[in-house]
Structure formats: structure tokens, C-alpha cells
């Protein structure tokens, strides 16, 4: 435009175009021709409000009918000769908040997480997800056998590559995101920690729930529990006895935190001895046989190397009994990891597990090939670039022991010279009483807003000193409770309703 020969109107049009980030944005369909490294865009299409349908034979969800209009982009990434990473990127057609939030996976992560993408898109974010380089059920690792590059994709490469490509696609369609966030639980929590450790520039804020970051030791713990309760039929604890165990735990420990409410604020303070449930004679519905008492102690206790006595992984927390399902839970992830990643043998039998030799083999493979584990405590680069990490974990997690999160947090504190104050500047851990794996739990306050908390921290510098947790019955909150940054715990002020968060304060917990 020649401004010297134009009118006032022409000048106005030029300024609007210059100042508007969407002025020269691409159409959704034109993104099909976008050229990105190692990337083939397979779909670029606008989706009208309420018109999204899950691909294939997946069960449709009414929530998808509430989605606003968006640009849907699908792509395949091939950073190695054996890579086949599928990603999707969704960008609001209107009302974009200028931010990007990628979502994580669960288990072995063999599918794009459409459900979480829909939730994030509805909040105004551009979003992305990946199948991490393979298509499978969450407990199936057959894809890994003989495919070290795919193991690397699952371990860290797929998420990083997706992040880079998603940002490029969003920028081409509209503008570069002002802030980038990660949000995931379980494997998604592990993915978030891996990003902070290995690719600190990818995200400004990371929400990491119940992370499976100590991966090799976690799948080993599954095998430990399996051997404790399934190797010998006499050691198996029938599912209909879990209620009696849970009631005994609450009967002894519920009031330790000052409130009798069916929740243990910190289960580590409960010194429950399963022997109190041993049957006086024979067997019974509300008692345990001697063999069952022994196996229950192993479930609660940490797995250990039988030669050195070194702890491998924390045991399932006292109070988590109602979520166990059929012990061990989830057994399949541990078994399939050892079958297809460690031994390359579909016929491997968990009863042959050697918790010294076999664990060492699994560790060596992880370090050399898969790098599934995300335990590096050095978050210096993430802190230096201003990143914020918000981690949460349910105390009643029946799959990933809650103490795993505490152990990782403590390792970071130690890496920073033992200074909790310095770590709290960029990393806070919230333990959630009563919550099971990622959500749920009888009486738990498992509804809480981590997204607003991480936004306030990243964008306004307001660190979360507490997060409001709610318990819902028929969609209505009937209990609220503050979630406190570890090592603090919520303590009742001795007055007012114990179902009202305003009657609690965050105080230093016992170690």
C-alpha cells in the first residue's frame, strides 16, 4: 500500500491490518500445504460448532456436541525411520485466548486424547495431543518389541515434536501463542516432568498430575504386588474384603488429623498393622487369613531389592483399599512392559521375576533405549527461563503410589541445596486427601482448578498458596477443603463446619 497517495481510510485499514494478529492468518484449509520438518499434514479442515464426531468406531460423547467452531489439523511426524507419530492440533475459529495448552496421555498412550482436547478447547485454548508414536490400548506394550525408535518416541520425542509442530501450525493459522501450557495426569504427568527436565523451553507452565515418572520402578512395583497376591493362591485377598480393611484403617486413623471425615490428611501418619484383621480361626468375610495378612503387608510396604534391601518403589498407601479393584491393579502395564520392552518375549511369566537381576536389566534398557523414566531433579534451566511446575497427587492413588511424588519433589529440593523456599518459587506439589488415581474417591475433594492456578502463577506471578478442592454430589459441592502446598497440610481451626474450607488453614505437616 502506498500511504502517501492513500486516503485516511486507507491508513486506517493499514493500521488495523498491522496491529491485528489475525489480519493475514491462513485459512484452515490452506494449512494442508504447510511445510514442516518431518511432517505430513493429513487433514486441515474447519469444524462447525457442535459438528465434531470422533473418528472411527470410538464411542461418541455428548460433550463434543457442545464444542465451539474450530480448525482441526491432523499430521504424521517421522523424526526417525521407524517413527509414526500421529498428532492433532485444534485452534478456536473465534474467541481464542491467545494461549496453547497441550494435553497428556495415560498408560502406554496409544491414542490422541480427544476428551481432554475438547475440555481445553472449550476454555478458549488452542490445544494438541499425540498418540506418542503407536496405536494401542493403554496397557499394551506389544508395539515396543523390536522397535527402539518407537520406545524413544513414547519416552519423550513424540511430545516434544508435537509441541514444536503444534506451535508452528497455530502461528501459521493465527499468531504465535502468548503462553504455552502442558496439562496431563499419570503418563501425562510423566510427560510434563520430562518436558521440564529435557526441553525446558517448550512450556511456560506445566500441570503434572500423579506422574508415572519413576517408570521402571513403577512397573516393577506392579510385579511386586502381583507376586505378593497372585503367585500363591492362598495369598490372594478377595475383593469383597477390601471394605473391611478400609473400615479398620479408618477406625484406627481417621481422627489423627483432628477431623473424623473418612479422609486421611497424610496416610503416612497412620501406623496400621494388618495383623489386627487376622482371623481367630479359619477364614471369614471380615477377617484375613495369615497368608492374606502377609500379602497385605507387602502391598502396603515398599518393594525392595532382595539382595541389597534397597527400596525400589513405595507401596500402595494406607486408605486406598476401595480403589484396588482386583489386586494387583493395574497388573497388565507391569507385565506387558517386562514382556515386550525388557525380555522381548510374549511368553514371559511374571512368577519368574527376579527383583535384583531383572530390575537391573530393565534399568539398563531404559537408560540405553527407551528413556521412559523422568526422574532428573535438575530443573535449573526450567527455573531460569521462568517456567512454573504445579504437581498434584491423590493420597488414595491405587495405581501410582502417592509417595512417589513426594520422593521426586524432595529430590529436587536436595538438588537445590535443600532450600524448599527456592524450589517453591517455581515448583509446588499438592497432595489431595482421599483422591484416587487422577480423580475420584469416596468423600474426596477431588474437584479443583489447576488451570487457573498455573495461569495466575505464570502470567501474574501469583504463586498458589492453596487450591480450593470440592466434593460434588449430583453436581453440587457438599464439601470444600483447601489443598495445601507440600509439606503443608490442611488443619481444622476447631470451629465451624468441617465441610467448609474457610474453617481450615494450611500448616506445616509432620515429616
Asked if residues 150 and 176 have their Cβ atoms less than 8 Å apart, the reply is no
Listed residue (232, 219, 141, 247) closest to 399, CA to CA:
219
Asked if residues 89 and 126 have their Cβ atoms less than 8 Å apart, the reply is yes
437 is catalytic: yes
- Measured CA to CA, the distance from residue 470 to residue 481 in angstroms comes to 6
Q: What angle do CA 59, 60, 61 make, to 5 degrees?
A: 120
160 is catalytic: no
Interior/surface letters 332-354, b for 16+ CB within 10 angstroms, e for the rest? bbbbbbbbbbbbeeeebebeebe
Give the strand pairing for 126-130 and 179-185: unpaired
Sign of the Cα pseudo-torsion (319, 390, 85, 377, in order): negative
For 417, residues 6+ apart whose C-beta sits below 8 A from its C-beta are none
Catalytic residue among 397, 405, 446, 471: 397
Catalytic residue among 136, 174, 186, 187: 186
Three-state DSSP state, 447: strand
- Measured CA to CA, the distance from residue 181 to residue 400 in angstroms comes to 24
DSSP state of 240: G
Kindly compute the dihedral angle of the four CA atoms of residues 7, 12, 13, 18, in this order, to the nearest 10 degrees.
130
φ and ψ at 278, to 5 degrees? -65, 135
List Cα–Cα distances, 324 to 42, 317, 319, 401, 437, in angstroms: 41, 11, 10, 12, 10
- Measured CA to CA, the distance from residue 244 to residue 21 in angstroms comes to 61
Give the strand pairing for 179-185 and 99-103: parallel
Catalytic residue among 134, 147, 160, 437: 437
- Measured CA to CA, the distance from residue 68 to residue 123 in angstroms comes to 10
Sign of the Cα pseudo-torsion (382, 383, 386, 392, in order): positive
Catalytic residues: 186, 397, 437
Amino acid at each position: 500500500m502506498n500511504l502517501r497517495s492513500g486516503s485516511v481510510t486507507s491508513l486506517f485499514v493499514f493500521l488495523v491490518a498491522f496491529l491485528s494478529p489475525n489480519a493475514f492468518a491462513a485459512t484452515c484449509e490452506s494449512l494442508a500445504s504447510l511445510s514442516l520438518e518431518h511432517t505430513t499434514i493429513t487433514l486441515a479442515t474447519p469444524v462447525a460448532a457442535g459438528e465434531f464426531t470422533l473418528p472411527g468406531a470410538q464411542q461418541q460423547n455428548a460433550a463434543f456436541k457442545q464444542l465451539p467452531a474450530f480448525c482441526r489439523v491432523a499430521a504424521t511426524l517421522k523424526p526417525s525411520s521407524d517413527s509414526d507419530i500421529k498428532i492433532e492440533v485444534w485452534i478456536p475459529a473465534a474467541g481464542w485466548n491467545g494461549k496453547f495448552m497441550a494435553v497428556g496421555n495415560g498408560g502406554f498412550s496409544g491414542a490422541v486424547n480427544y476428551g481432554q482436547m475438547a475440555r481445553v478447547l472449550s476454555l478458549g485454548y488452542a490445544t494438541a495431543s499425540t498418540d506418542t508414536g503407536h496405536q494401542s490400548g493403554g496397557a499394551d506394550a506389544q508395539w515396543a518389541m523390536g522397535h527402539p525408535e518407537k520406545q524413544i518416541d513414547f519416552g519423550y520425542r513424540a511430545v516434544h515434536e508435537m509441541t514444536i509442530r503444534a506451535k508452528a501450525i497455530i502461528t501459521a493459522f493465527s499468531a504465535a501463542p502468548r503462553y504455552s501450557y502442558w496439562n496431563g495426569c499419570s503418563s501425562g504427568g510423566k510427560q510434563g516432568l520430562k518436558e521440564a527436565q529435557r526441553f525446558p523451553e517448550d512450556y511456560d507452565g506445566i500441570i503434572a498430575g500423579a506422574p508415572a515418572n519413576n517408570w521402571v520402578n513403577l512397573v516393577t512395583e506392579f510385579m511386586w504386588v502381583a507376586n505378593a497376591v497372585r503367585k500363591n493362591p492362598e495369598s490372594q485377598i478377595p475383593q469383597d474384603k477390601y471394605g473391611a480393611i478400609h473400615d479398620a484403617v479408618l477406625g484406627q486413623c481417621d481422627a489423627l488429623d483432628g477431623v473424623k471425615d473418612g479422609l486421611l490428611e497424610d496416610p503416612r501418619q497412620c501406623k496400621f498393622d494388618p495383623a489386627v484383621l487376622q482371623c481367630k480361626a479359619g477364614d471369614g468375610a471380615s477377617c484375613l487369613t495369615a497368608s492374606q495378612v502377609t500379602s497385605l503387608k507387602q502391598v502396603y510396604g515398599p518393594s525392595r531389592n532382595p539382595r541389597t534391601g534397597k527400596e525400589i518403589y513405595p507401596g500402595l498407601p494406607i486408605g486406598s483399599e476401595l480403589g484396588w479393584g482386583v489386586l494387583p491393579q493395574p497388573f497388565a502395564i507391569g507385565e506387558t512392559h517386562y514382556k515386550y520392552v525388557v525380555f522381548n518375549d510374549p511368553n514371559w511369566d511374571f512368577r519368574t521375576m527376579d527383583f535384583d537381576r531383572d530390575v537391573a536389566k530393565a534399568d539398563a534398557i531404559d537408560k540405553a533405549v527407551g528413556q521412559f523414566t523422568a526422574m532428573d531433579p535438575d530443573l535449573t534451566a526450567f527455573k531460569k527461563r521462568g517456567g512454573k511446575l504445579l504437581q498434584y497427587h491423590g493420597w488414595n492413588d491405587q495405581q501410582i503410589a502417592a509417595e512417589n511424588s513426594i520422593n521426586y519433589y524432595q529430590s529436587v529440593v536436595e538438588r537445590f541445596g535443600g532450600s524448599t523456599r527456592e524450589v517453591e518459587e517455581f515448583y509446588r506439589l499438592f497432595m489431595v486427601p482421599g483422591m484416587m488415581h487422577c480423580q475420584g474417591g469416596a468423600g474426596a475433594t477431588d474437584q479443583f482448578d489447576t488451570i487457573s492456578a498455573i495461569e495466575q502463577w505464570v502470567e501474574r506471578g501469583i504463586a498458589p498458596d492453596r487450591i480450593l478442592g470440592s466434593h460434588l454430589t449430583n453436581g453440587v459441592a457438599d464439601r470444600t477443603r483447601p489443598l495445601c502446598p507440600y509439606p503443608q497440610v490442611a488443619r481444622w481451626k476447631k470451629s465451624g463446619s468441617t465441610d467448609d474450607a474457610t474453617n481450615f488453614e494450611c500448616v506445616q505437616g509432620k515429616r
